[in-house]
Amino acid sequence: MKLGFIGVGSIGSPMAGQLLRAGHELVVHDIRRDAAASLLARGATWADSPAAVAAASEIVATCLPGPREMEHVTLGPKGILDGVRKGALYIDHTTNSPLLVRRVHDALAARNVDMLDAPVSGGTEGAQTRDLLVMVGGDGRVFERARPVLDTLAARVLHVGAIGCGSVCKIMHNCASFTLDLAMAECWTVGVKAGVAPETIVDVFKNAALGNMMSLKVRLPATYLRGNFDPRFALKLARKDLGLALELARAYDTPMRLGALCEQEMVEAMARGWAERDASIFLTLQEERAKVQVRVTPENR
């Protein structure tokens, strides 16, 4: 199959390399031609513009730094929209704005061109070894059309919903990941100031429940995600534990902004009479404000 790939940086280059390894004919473009040197040495063909890549390809993919670059490559002068063939498929691997993704999708649909948004998780190393997760948004028929190519790129490919949903999943996952990083940094700084060696407190986190993501794998699926708040670990006990952490932080003059916000949520939940319910019930306050529930039945886990 003749494929196009635009954006051959630290993640795009090894992804494109997987396509070459699988025997596809590959046309590439990047803002810097030297970024494509290793791919060209392995048999890829260079094109001078995104439009030229699209004109030469049955399927064209992008892996770009962000929305601004993706908008320029797709809708700008000599962009994909200018050269893409009727009946072609465009796959965007950029960590992108779902709003932009849907706008580009509509522009391409007017030209009878299919589109998927398919951001990846796993980084450069994952792209080199196929140890990637691809989160794919788009029509199910289009997803099945693209599946053989996506399977070439990644060990795990998930169809997550309509167009734009891949980007929603990616940016929400990253948001949670960065926030968790900050929460751990808060706790580690308090631990170190309270006398625990850095390597020790980090090792504890690695070996305890958090290191195995027990909240996501076991506790939350059994409680919050099912709407089952029979106490496994009571809210009053969680509030006590968090209070002890914040007390220690104050004693060592170390701010814990996320911890303090979490305490406020727990205090509000306690005020509703939920002290004896499972600790995860305080998460429903966020559901109330968002006017949506997050529930997963066991068979869909």
Active site amino acids = 170
How many domains does the chain divide into? 2
Q: Which of 136, 166, 196 is the last residue of a domain?
A: 166
Answer yes or no: do 8 and 138 share one domain.
yes
Non-local (6+) Cβ contacts of 208 within 8 A are none
Give the domain extent around 68. 2-166
| Token representation of residue 215 | 């909240």
Answer yes or no: do 150 and 192 share one domain.
no
Answer yes or no: do 154 and 175 share one domain.
no
Task: Specify the pLDDT at position 186.
Answer: 83
Answer yes or no: do 82 and 158 share one domain.
yes
Give the pLDDT of the chain (301 residues) as one tens digit per residue. 999 999 999 999 999 999 999 999 999 999 999 999 999 999 999 999 999 999 999 999 999 999 999 999 999 999 999 999 999 999 999 999 999 999 999 999 999 999 999 999 988 889 999 999 999 999 999 999 999 999 999 999 999 999 999 999 998 888 788 788 778 888 888 898 999 988 898 889 888 877 777 777 788 888 988 999 999 889 998 888 788 878 888 988 989 899 999 999 999 999 999 999 999 999 999 999 988 888 987 765 5
Answer yes or no: do 160 and 173 share one domain.
no
- For residue 290, give the CATH number of its domain: 1.10.1040.10
User: pTM surpassing 0.75?
Assistant: yes
- For residue 46, give the CATH number of its domain: 3.40.50.720
Answer yes or no: do 141 and 187 share one domain.
no
Task: Specify the pLDDT at position 300.
Answer: 56
DSSP string of the chain? Answer: -EEEEE--STTHHHHHHHHHHTT-EEEEE-SSGGGGHHHHHTT-EE-SSHHHHHHT-SEEEE--SSHHHHHHHHHSTT-HHHHPPTT-EEEE-S---HHHHHHHHHHHHTTT-EEEE--EESHHHHHHHT--EEEEES-HHHHHHHHHHHHHH-SEEEEEESTTHHHHHHHHHHHHHHHHHHHHHHHHHHHHHTT--HHHHHHHHHHSGGGGTHIIIIIHHHTGGGT--S-SSBHHHHHHHHHHHHHHHHHTT---HHHHHHHHHHHHHHHTT-TTSBGGGGGHHHHHHHT------GGG-
Answer yes or no: do 147 and 13 share one domain.
yes
Task: Specify the pLDDT at position 176.
Answer: 83
Please report, as a single letter, which amino acid is at residue 248.
Answer: L
| Token representation of residue 171 | 């940016």
Answer yes or no: do 66 and 89 share one domain.
yes
Q: Which of 127, 143, 166 is the last residue of a domain?
A: 166
Answer yes or no: do 139 and 182 share one domain.
no
Q: Is residue 137 exposed (0-12), middle (13-18) or buried (19+ Cβ within 10 Å)? A: buried
**Cα–Cα dist 83/29, whole Å:** 14
Answer yes or no: do 231 and 249 share one domain.
yes
Q: Which of 151, 166, 181 is the last residue of a domain?
A: 166
Answer yes or no: do 17 and 145 share one domain.
yes
Task: Specify the pLDDT at position 245.
Answer: 79
Angle between helices 12-21 and 140-153 (to 10 degrees): 90
Q: What are phi and psi of 162, to 5 degrees?
A: -70, 175
Answer yes or no: do 47 and 156 share one domain.
yes
